């Protein structure tokens, strides 16, 4: 079947959205109001202002833009590309007037907006790029062509999505139908492809090869690939649904919860919609929220912006169910070593910089409690409740045996930690600077806590017990 993007009549409405209908999990859906018609959304916050970008309206020019002061009440902002750029026709002579599937990200001091130029049912397509230092200024720089595809390619150059890996390097995933989802590394200066093209997801046994709209996010040692399966753009006849897998490497392989490679059709379903919200898809993960469109059965199948909180279960898989989440940012936890059964504490209830972090039996002290804060870059900060100082590896050590201490929060990589789920409620806690695991050295009261190469021992496994 030919690939279609957003067909049918688009009608602008003001609608207060109620999300309690037919939900099967305890999801925190945002109550949205104002102007909500948006397809293929991507979202970002600049200062106190929220921006959402989406595919343009049928038979109109450009990219549709919404804005909000609180993320809840939305209004229409000026369209990007009220007139088409002349160079597009060089590559896509018969492109539609509206541009598709924008993706907005902030990186190295600029906002980067990737967008698609194509025509229905064709893989004669391109991904273009705009950038700016201020979205609200409306001053976008045309950075030109990023990548293109033609009828001689087995992929479609649309649905671009920028992701920054754990090393701070940019990558672009893209693709729709044909041979599936692709990934390429980007040059940090030009933000355009450099190096080879990787294949990371496909549905080879599906008669329509229906997979598109990739979105990759990094968290706690894993890259999570979200995609949309099946048919969009048919109103209430749409069968879109959101699926995911994960990998320890950005280039894959991406496996779903059953261990099936996404190159072989794998993908665990996150959201298949309900009786009102049909065909949810073209998702965008932004910090701790997930954005997508769905077709409103109560409004003749019009595409609407949906936002909800995204959680991660005990095994590190994404979920809408907050009751399945173990790590909740801003909450207090005890860090219990699996080998010793003792807690990580600041020795002697010290409030001084450099005070040692050791193991001790649970005595209820606040020096044995840690506030875990998600930094939304794949890492967390662990702050001692008693001293309000951060857990760090002393003097930026990268050696085995480097000491775990507390220190004033300086934001350094030696104070950032990846919390990698191991199953059964335990985590590997890995220092960002050294790449080494938090290690309980000994099992008695006062035994030190250090860093060491990860070897999978129980002394390198930590249970996170939530207090509040």
Distance CA 312, CA 376 (A): 13
The model's confidence at residue 103, banded by pLDDT at 50, 70 and 90, is very high
Distance CA 369, CA 465 (A): 10
CATH class assigned to 331-466: mainly beta
Q: Which residue carries 């790590």 as its tokens?
A: 327
CB 128 within 8 A of CB 144: yes
pLDDT at 208: 66
pLDDT at 3: 35
> Which residues are registered as beta bridge partners of 229?
211, 241
Closest CA to 219 of 250, 241, 190: 250
Strand boundaries in 159-192, DSSP class E: 161-164, 170-174, 181-186
Greater confidence, 121 or 155? 155
pLDDT tens for each residue of 41-92: 999 999 999 999 999 998 899 999 999 999 999 999 999 999 999 999 999 9
> Given a cut of 60, is residue 101 above it in pLDDT?
yes
Query: To the nearest 10°, the Cα dihedral for 301, 8, 33, 54?
Result: 120
pLDDT at 26: 42
pLDDT at 11: 29
The first and second tokens of residue 119, run together, are 């025509």
Strand boundaries in 297-410, DSSP class E: 302-309, 311-312, 318-319, 331-337, 343-346, 357-360, 370-374, 380-384, 390-393, 404-407
> Given a cut of 50, is residue 10 above it in pLDDT?
no
List phi, psi (to 5°) of 2. Answer: -70, 150
Q: Average of pLDDT values for 180-208?
A: 93
Q: Which residue carries 């280039």 as its tokens?
A: 251
**Catalytic: which of 57, 159, 212, 271?**
212
The burial class, CB within 10 Å (0-12 / 13-18 / 19+), for 177 is: buried
pLDDT tens for each residue of 144-179: 999 999 999 999 999 999 999 999 999 999 999 999
pLDDT at 468: 76
Greater confidence, 2 or 459? 459
How many other C-beta atoms can be found within 10 angstroms of the C-beta atom of residue 68?
21
pLDDT tens for each residue of 207-246: 666 999 999 999 888 999 999 999 999 999 999 999 999 9
Q: Note if 212 is an active site residue.
A: yes
Give the right CATH number for 33-324 from 3.40.50.150, 3.30.70.100, 3.90.1150.10, 2.115.10.20. 2.115.10.20
Closest CA to 100 of 303, 310, 307, 308: 303
CB 430 within 8 A of CB 421: no
| Mean residue pLDDT across the chain | 91
Closest CA to 174 of 103, 119, 242: 103
Distance CA 52, CA 436 (A): 38
> Given a cut of 70, is residue 462 above it in pLDDT?
yes
- Span of 203-207, 236-240, 275-279 with lowest mean pLDDT: 203-207
pLDDT tens for each residue of 15-37: 333 333 333 344 578 999 999 99
Q: Sketch the domain layout of the chain as residue ranges.
A: 33-324, 331-466
The model's confidence at residue 195, banded by pLDDT at 50, 70 and 90, is confident
Q: Note if 40 is an active site residue.
A: yes
> Given a cut of 70, is residue 14 above it in pLDDT?
no
> Given a cut of 60, is residue 413 above it in pLDDT?
yes
> Given a cut of 90, is residue 326 above it in pLDDT?
no
Distance CA 4, CA 9 (A): 14
**Catalytic: which of 35, 40, 256, 302?**
40
pLDDT tens for each residue of 243-259: 999 999 999 999 999 99
């Amino acid at each position: 079947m030919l690939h279609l993007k957003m067909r049918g009549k688009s009608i602008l409405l003001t609608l207060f959205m109620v999300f309690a209908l037919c939900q099967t999990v305890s999801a925190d859906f945002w109550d949205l109001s104002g102007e909500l018609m948006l397809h293929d959304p991507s979202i970002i916050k600049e200062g106190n202002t929220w921006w959402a970008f989406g595919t343009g309206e049928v038979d109109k020019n450009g990219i549709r833009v919404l804005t909000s002061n609180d993320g809840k009440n939305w209004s229409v902002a000026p369209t990007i590309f009220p007139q088409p750029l002349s160079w597009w026709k060089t590559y896509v002579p018969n492109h539609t007037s509206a541009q598709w599937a924008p993706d907005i990200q902030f990186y190295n001091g600029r906002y980067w907006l990737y967008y698609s130029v194509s025509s229905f049912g064709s893989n004669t397509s391109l991904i273009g790029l705009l950038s700016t230092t201020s979205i609200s200024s409306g001053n976008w720089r045309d950075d030109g062509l990023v990548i293109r595809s033609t009828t001689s390619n087995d992929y479609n150059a649309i649905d671009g999505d920028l992701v920054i890996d754990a090393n701070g390097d940019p990558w672009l995933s893209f693709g729709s139908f044909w041979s599936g989802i692709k990934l390429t590394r980007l040059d940090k200066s030009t933000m355009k492809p450099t190096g080879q093209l990787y294949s990371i997801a496909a549905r080879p046994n599906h008669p329509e090869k229906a997979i598109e709209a990739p979105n990759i996010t990094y968290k706690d040692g894993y890259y999570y690939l979200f995609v949309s399966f099946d048919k969009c753009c048919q109103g209430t006849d749409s069968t879109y649904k959101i699926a995911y897998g994960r990998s320890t490497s950005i280039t894959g392989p991406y496996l779903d919860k059953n261990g099936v490679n996404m190159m072989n059709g794998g993908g665990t379903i996150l959201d298949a919609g309900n009786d009102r919200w049909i065909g949810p898809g073209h998702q965008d993960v932004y910090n701790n929220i997930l954005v997508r469109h769905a077709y409103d059965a109560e409004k003749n199948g019009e595409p609407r912006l949906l936002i909800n909180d995204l959680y991660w279960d005990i095994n590190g898989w994404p979920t809408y169910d907050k009751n399945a989440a173990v790590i909740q940012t801003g909450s207090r936890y005890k860090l219990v070593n699996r080998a010793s059964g003792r807690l990580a504490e600041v020795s002697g209830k010290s409030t001084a910089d450099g005070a040692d972090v050791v193991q001790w039996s649970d005595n209820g002290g606040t020096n044995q409690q840690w506030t875990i804060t998600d930094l939304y870059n794949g890492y967390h900060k662990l702050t001692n409740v008693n001293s309000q100082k951060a857990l760090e590896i002393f003097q930026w050590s990268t050696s085995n045996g480097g000491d775990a201490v507390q220190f004033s929060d300086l934001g350094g990589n030696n104070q950032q930690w990846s919390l990698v789920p191991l199953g059964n409620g335990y985590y590997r806690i890995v220092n960002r600077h050294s790449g080494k695991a938090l290690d309980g050295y000994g099992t008695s009261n006062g035994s030190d806590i250090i860093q060491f190469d990860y070897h999978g021992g129980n002394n390198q496994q930590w249970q996170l017990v939530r207090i509040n």
